[in-house]
């Protein structure tokens, strides 16, 4: 593939000259790169010329992205144009003169081919919007939105200041509102609790005139605090039948429901209390500015839409549940969109609700949930390209800064601009890496980055993340730091940066200090399977570790560890083997043995919860020796042979326990030897015993 790079020193505001172009070209393996000063103005011809006869073009400018894209469109070229920001991220910092390795790394990563497309989730919205809330909030928005979307209203209270006019839109009232679904497929249920049914009401105002207490307003809702229930309004309504004070006595008769494409929730407190709201649901509350902002978005959500299917799920790897015993619940607990739910022994991931944060894949110990936007191998390739190109260009002690593509990117760019106002800007060794969401990268990606040569990894959080994401990231970082420190690598390798402003980010990134990295950089490619990716990264880090250790103790909840078995309590019933989802615990078909392969264990705790004798405890640790891959015997016993046919069918301890527990049972009292028999011989003995009590069906006389 032929890739052409076009770089510009932006009117000489960056220290880029012909010599720098030669160094960048050498690092990229593309020959000396020409350096423009006004690529978007008087040197635009150099950009247009390069659009012919190449496979792709990388333009090191995002400031004039729109201009370059428009010119390429006018030229009717099919050449992909990629853009990368080297100005705010490198060229404008206080260390810009030493930032060439970072620029080379960013250019190389921008030239990577696009990842394979991921499956798509489709939405279809016809624009049927339900506006929910008090009448004084809802009715003004009906007039504003009525010409743009198909409006229905659900009033939660009436208003003395707002009037329901002609019946040009469906109107309902009610409370106990429940909302489920997503853009184009919302289901709403509520209880019709007010005596006046707005859909039956013809707005004749007869009830208002008849009410002596003035309890009925022009939004046609009865104030229960004023109403004395004398029934004059019912008489005035007559055969219209819109008013029924007995409605509240029969709950089922008040159940209402409807299907809508969009929800505009103007309740003071949102009806959906999740951090990540479903697409098509807007809850600005009483904030007028937010109401107008969300209303504009709502009017633009009519038609067909799509989004990536952000995660993939492999049921066979899931350690969620077995036999109604819950083991790992990490993904369900962390999902801020409530897109993951319990589904028998597995979990169900609703792609329509999934917002793509990726936190579920980060906390999943087995890799059953994997992030796909981008896939882990694609993310690993980008990180590997960044770090290897950085080192090839002469860079040392590279640090990675993971940030979101929304507010995170904004803060990174603003921090770069601050350098032109007396601040320091992005350090030359800190390489920003944009993600769809910062929670999508976890310990497998971080440890692979260290294996590729990173000295430290920071994750920028800006306050827009769900609180549980920060807690999960911190726990993952503590686990990663425990491993790296245990291997003897000095320094702080992973940390959260909490910044809401560019000034806070500037101070934080310039306070970072590089930690110790391995002397040799890994060459493996990151695997799609989380456990395999971790295995390669850990093997490399252990091989080049300053300290020679065989195992590292890990905190509770870690994704590696052993199990300890109390041999005196264990009866080798093998319940734990049946419960283990990862084949870490296995039996021996030939002998009563409980065996364990530590590499497979994800510390889900299903074995511990399933064991009827409470003989199993978890022991989180990371074992580096070959013993982790080999089956070890945790408990064994000599087989117990049937006293009648000599067939092995249990263990001595199991039979002794059964004798102790079942000796008083009616089926075995006086026949304890049957417990010592296999199942076949037990039946034969019962049939041969002439004194055995039995139930015989008696033939009825004709």
The set of residues, in sequence order, having a beta carbon less than 8 Å from that of 151 and lying 6+ positions away, is 129, 131, 142, 145, 169
> What is 498-535 written as a DSSP string?
E-SSHHHHHHHHTT-------SS---PPPPSSHHHHHH
163 lies in some domain: yes
- Distance from chain centroid for Cα 410: 22
Instruction: Please count the CA atoms within 13 angstroms of the CA of 50 that sit on its side-chain side.
Output: 21
Q: Where does the pLDDT of residue 598 fall: very low under 50, low under 70, confident under 90, or very high at 90 and above?
A: very high
Q: Give the model confidence (pLDDT) of 543-562 as tens digits.
A: 999 999 999 999 999 999 99
Q: Tell me, what's the pLDDT at 667?
A: 66
Side-chain-facing half-sphere of 80: CA atoms under 13 Å? 13
Residue reference for tokens 């590997």: 384
Banded pLDDT at 250 (limits 50, 70, 90)? low
> For 149, which DSSP code?
S
- Gap between the Cα atoms of 213 and 666, Å rounded: 76
Burial of 197 (0-12, 13-18, 19+ CB in 10 A): buried
Tokens 């060229």 -> residue: 91
Question: Which tens digits make up the pLDDT trace of 500-521?
Answer: 999 999 999 999 999 999 999 9
pLDDT at 330 over 90: yes
Same structural domain, 296 and 329:
no
Handedness of CA 522, 524, 529, 535 (dihedral sign): negative
Q: Please state the rounded mean pLDDT for residues 602-610.
A: 96
In this structure, the answer to whether residues 266 and 319 fall within a common structural domain is no
The CA distances from residue 99 to 22, 234, 347, in Å, are 14, 80, 46
Q: Is 578 left (phi over 0), alpha (psi -120 to 50) or beta?
A: alpha
In a domain, 483, yes or no: no
* 229 lies in the same domain as 147: yes
3-state secondary structure 456-478: EEEEEECCCCCHHHHHHHHHHHH
Confidence of residue 76 (pLDDT cuts 50, 70, 90): confident
The better pLDDT of the pair 78, 47 is held by 47
**So what's the pLDDT on residue 21?**
96
127 domain-assigned: yes
Q: Are residues 16 and 153 in the same domain?
A: no
Last residue of a domain, one of 305, 325, 341: 305
- What is the Cα–Cα distance from 279 to 308, expressed in whole angstroms? 13
Supply the pLDDT for residue 690.
63
Most confident range, picked from 193-207, 242-256, 646-660: 193-207
pLDDT at 655 over 90: no
Residue by residue, DSSP assigns 215-278 as -B-TT--B-TTT-----HHHHHHGGG--B-TTGGG-GGGGEEEEEESEEEE--SS-S---SSPP
Q: What is the 3-state secondary structure (H, E, C) of 184-219?
A: CEEEEEEECCCCECCCCCCCCCHHHHHCCCCCECCC
Q: What is the pTM of this model?
A: 0.88
Across the range 96-104, mean pLDDT stands at 97
The answer to whether residues 677 and 626 belong to one domain is no
Of residues 102 and 252, which shows the higher confidence score?
A: 102
Tell me the pLDDT of the chain averaged across its residues.
93
* 238 contacts 231 by C-beta, under 8 angstroms: no
- Pairwise CA distance, residues 6 & 191, whole Å: 63
Q: What is the CATH number of the domain that holds 313?
A: 3.30.70.20
Among 47-56, 348-357, 584-593, top mean pLDDT goes to 348-357
Range 147-170 average pLDDT: 90
Q: Which domain holds residue 54?
A: 1-83
Q: Residue 413, SS3? A: helix
Tokens of 244: 């029924």
- Of residues 571 and 376, which shows the higher confidence score? 376
Same domain, 300 and 327: no
Percentage of the chain modeled with pLDDT above 70: 96
Q: What is the CATH number of the domain that holds 578?
A: 3.30.70.3270
State the helix-helix crossing angle for 376-392 and 100-110, rounded to 10 degrees.
150
Check pLDDT > 70 for residue 699: no
Do residue 274 and residue 155 come from a single domain? yes
Q: Is there a single domain that holds both residue 262 and residue 287?
A: yes
Count the neighbouring beta carbons within 10 Å of the beta carbon of residue 460: 23
Q: Is the alpha carbon torsion for 311, 316, 319, 325 positive or negative?
A: positive
pLDDT: which is higher, 43 or 656: 43
Task: State pLDDT tens for residues 160-174.
Answer: 888 888 888 999 999
Reply yes or no on whether the pLDDT at 664 is more than 90. no
Residues 5 and 152 grouped into a single domain: no
Q: What is the pLDDT of residues 268-318, one digit of tens each?
A: 999 999 999 999 999 999 999 999 999 999 999 999 999 999 999 999 999
Q: Is the pLDDT of residue 697 over 60?
A: no
50 domain residue, yes or no: yes
Q: What is the pLDDT of residue 228?
A: 87
Give percent of the chain above pLDDT 90.
Answer: 80
Phi, psi (degrees; rounded to nearest 5) at 368:
-65, -35
Considering 27, 59, 83, which residue would you say is the last residue of a domain?
Answer: 83
Q: How many whole angstroms separate alpha carbon 13 and alpha carbon 87?
A: 9
Domain-embedded: residue 572: yes
Cis peptide leading into 158, omega within 30 of 0? no
Looking at the structure, do residues 155 and 253 belong to the same domain, yes or no?
yes
Domain boundary residue among 277, 305, 333?
A: 305
Residue 628 lies in a domain: yes
Residue 664 lies in a domain: yes
- Count of structural domains, the chain: 5
Mean pLDDT of all residues in 90-97: 96
Query: Same domain, yes or no, for 221 and 333?
Result: no
Q: Where do we find the tokens 């016993």?
A: 637
Q: What is the side-by-side strand order in the sheet with 56-59? A: 35-36, 3-8, 56-59, 81-83
Contact between 114 and 38 (Cβ < 8 Å): no
Residue 5 domain flag: yes
Task: Give yes or no: residues 189 and 288 share one domain.
Answer: yes
Least confident of 432-441, 643-652, 659-668: 659-668
Q: Write the pLDDT tens digit of every residue in 112-145.
A: 999 989 999 999 999 999 999 999 999 999 999 9
Mean pLDDT of 202-217: 92
Q: Does residue 479 have a pLDDT over 70? A: yes
């Amino acid at each position: 593939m032929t890739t052409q790079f076009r770089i510009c020193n932006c009117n000489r505001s960056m220290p880029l000259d012909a010599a720098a172009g030669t160094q960048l070209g050498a690092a990229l393996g593309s020959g000396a790169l020409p350096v423009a000063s006004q690529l978007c103005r008087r040197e635009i011809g150099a950009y247009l010329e390069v659009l012919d006869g190449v496979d792709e073009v990388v333009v090191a400018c995002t400031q004039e992205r729109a201009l370059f894209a428009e010119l390429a469109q006018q030229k009717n070229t099919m050449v992909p144009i990629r853009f990368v920001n080297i100005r705010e991220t490198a060229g404008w910092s206080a260390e810009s003169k030493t930032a060439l390795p970072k620029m080379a790394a960013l250019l190389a990563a921008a030239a990577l081919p696009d990842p394979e497309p991921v499956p798509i989730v489709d939405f279809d919205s016809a624009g049927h919007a339900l506006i929910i809330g008090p009448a004084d909030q809802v009715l003004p928005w009906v007039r504003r939105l009525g010409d743009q979307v198909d409006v229905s209203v659900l009033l939660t209270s009436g208003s003395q200041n707002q009037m329901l006019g002609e019946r040009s839109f469906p109107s309902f009232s009610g409370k106990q509102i429940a909302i489920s679904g997503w853009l184009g497929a919302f289901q709403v249920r509520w209880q019709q609790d007010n005596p006046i049914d707005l859909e039956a009401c013809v707005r004749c105002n007869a009830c208002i005139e008849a009410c002596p207490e003035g309890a009925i307003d022009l939004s046609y809702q009865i104030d229960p605090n004023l109403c004395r229930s004398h029934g004059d309004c019912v008489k005035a309504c007559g055969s219209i039948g819109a008013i029924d004070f007995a409605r509240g006595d029969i709950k089922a008769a008040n159940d209402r429901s409807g299907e809508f494409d969009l929800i505009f929730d103007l309740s003071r407190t949102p009806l959906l209390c999740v951090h990540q709201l479903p697409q098509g649901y807007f809850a600005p509350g009483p904030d007028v500015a937010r109401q107008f902002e969300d209303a504009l978005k709502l009017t633009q959500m009519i038609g067909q839409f799509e989004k990536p299917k952000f995660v993939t799920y492999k049921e066979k790897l899931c350690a969620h549940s077995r036999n109604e015993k819950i083991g790992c619940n990490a993904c369900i607990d962390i999902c801020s969109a409530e897109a993951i739910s319990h589904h028998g022994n597995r979990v169900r991931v609703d792609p329509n609700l999934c917002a793509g944060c990726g936190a579920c894949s980060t906390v999943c110990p087995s890799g059953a949930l994997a992030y796909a936007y981008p896939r882990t191998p694609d993310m690993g390739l980008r990180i590997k390209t960044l770090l290897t190109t950085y080192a090839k260009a002469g860079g040392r002690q590279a640090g990675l800064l993971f940030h979101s593509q929304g507010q995170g990117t904004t803060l990174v760019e603003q921090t770069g601009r601050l350098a032109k106002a007396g601040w320091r800007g992005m350090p030359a060794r800190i390489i920003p890496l944009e993600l769809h969401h910062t929670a999508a990268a976890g310990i497998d990606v971080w440890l692979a980055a260290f294996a590729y040569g990173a000295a430290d990894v920071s994750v920028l959080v800006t306050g827009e993340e769900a609180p549980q994401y920060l807690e999960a990231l911190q726990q993952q970082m503590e686990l990663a730091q425990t491993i790296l420190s245990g291997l003897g690598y000095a320094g702080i390798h992973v940390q959260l940066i909490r910044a809401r402003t560019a000034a806070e980010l500037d101070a934080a990134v310039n306070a970072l200090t590089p930690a110790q990295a391995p002397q040799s950089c890994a060459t493996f490619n990151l695997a799609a399977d989380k456990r395999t990716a971790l295995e390669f990264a850990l093997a490399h880090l252990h091989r080049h570790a300053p300290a020679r250790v065989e195992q590292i103790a890990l905190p509770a909840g870690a994704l590696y560890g052993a199990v300890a078995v109390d041999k005196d309590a264990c009866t080798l019933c093998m319940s734990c083997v049946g419960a283990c989802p990862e084949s870490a615990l296995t039996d021996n078909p030939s002998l009563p043995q409980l065996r364990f392969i530590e590499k497979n264990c994800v510390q889900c705790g299903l074995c511990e919860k399933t064991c009827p004798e409470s003989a199993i405890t978890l022991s989180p640790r990371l074992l580096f020796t070959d013993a982790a891959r080999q089956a070890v015997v945790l408990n064994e016993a000599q087989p117990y042979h049937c006293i009648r046919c000599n067939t092995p069918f249990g263990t001595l301890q199991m039979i002794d326990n059964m004798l102790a527990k079942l000796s008083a049972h009616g089926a075995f009292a006086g026949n304890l030897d049957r417990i010592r028999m296999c199942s076949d011989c037990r039946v034969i003995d019962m049939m041969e015993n002439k004194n055995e009590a039995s139930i015989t069906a008696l033939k009825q006389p004709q």
